């Protein structure tokens, strides 16, 4: 029995692949912003930018991050308040304070702060 090999059709041009960017931080990690004075707990990660164009365009062009990198949803705090932040990977660094984050939503998603991170509550795990 003779079999003909299956081949792909020829392409006229190569399709460029998007850069692969791996998330440096995980859900529950405590991080801080590289330029602004706030820190927070990661509660979700987008592999690439997934917010509105209006939000993105509101960032001053000279500090606007690339869209082709992970973006993190944070339960954030600064000296004045707590809030939800959306931050690019390039603008986050590990937090070295070794202190819990003061945000009212943390207890609904996470267990007790331990060793620089928060464990996700059992009911929120997949």
| Count of domains forming the chain | 1
6 in a structural domain: no
- Identify whether 80 is part of a domain: yes
Query: Which DSSP category does 108 fall into?
Result: H
How many other C-beta atoms can be found within 10 angstroms of the C-beta atom of residue 115? 7
**Does the residue 45 lie in any domain?**
yes
37, 78 in Cβ contact below 8 A? yes
Question: Can you give the pLDDT at residue 101?
Answer: 97
Q: Where does residue 39 rank: exposed (0-12), middle (13-18), buried (19+ CB within 10 A)?
A: buried
Distance, CA of 10 to CA of 100 (rounded, Å): 56
The reply to whether 22 falls in a domain is: no
In a domain, 5, yes or no: no
pTM, to two decimals: 0.81
| Model pLDDT for residues 48-81, shown as the tens digit of each residue | 999 999 999 999 999 999 999 999 999 999 999 9
Tell me, yes or no, whether 23 lies in a domain.
no
Report if residue 39 sits inside a domain. yes
pLDDT digits (tens, 9 = 90+) for 31-53: 999 999 999 999 999 999 999 99
Asked whether residue 15 is domain-assigned, the answer is no
Residue 57's domain spans which residues?
30-124
* CA atoms of 55 and 43, how far apart (whole Å): 20
């Amino acid at each position: 029995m003779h079999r003909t090999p299956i081949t792909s059709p020829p392409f006229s041009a190569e399709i460029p692949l998007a850069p692969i960017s791996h998330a440096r931080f995980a859900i529950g990690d405590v991080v801080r912003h590289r330029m602004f004075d706030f820190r927070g707990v990661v509660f979700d990660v987008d592999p690439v930018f997934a917010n509105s164009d209006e939000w993105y365009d509101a960032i001053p062009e000279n500090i606007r991050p690339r869209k082709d990198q992970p973006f993190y949803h944070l339960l954030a705090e600064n000296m004045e308040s707590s809030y939800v932040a959306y931050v690019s990977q390039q603008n986050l660094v590990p937090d070295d304070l070794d202190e819990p984050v003061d945000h009212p939503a943390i207890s609904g998603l996470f267990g007790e702060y331990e060793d620089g991170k928060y464990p996700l509550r059992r009911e929120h795990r997949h």
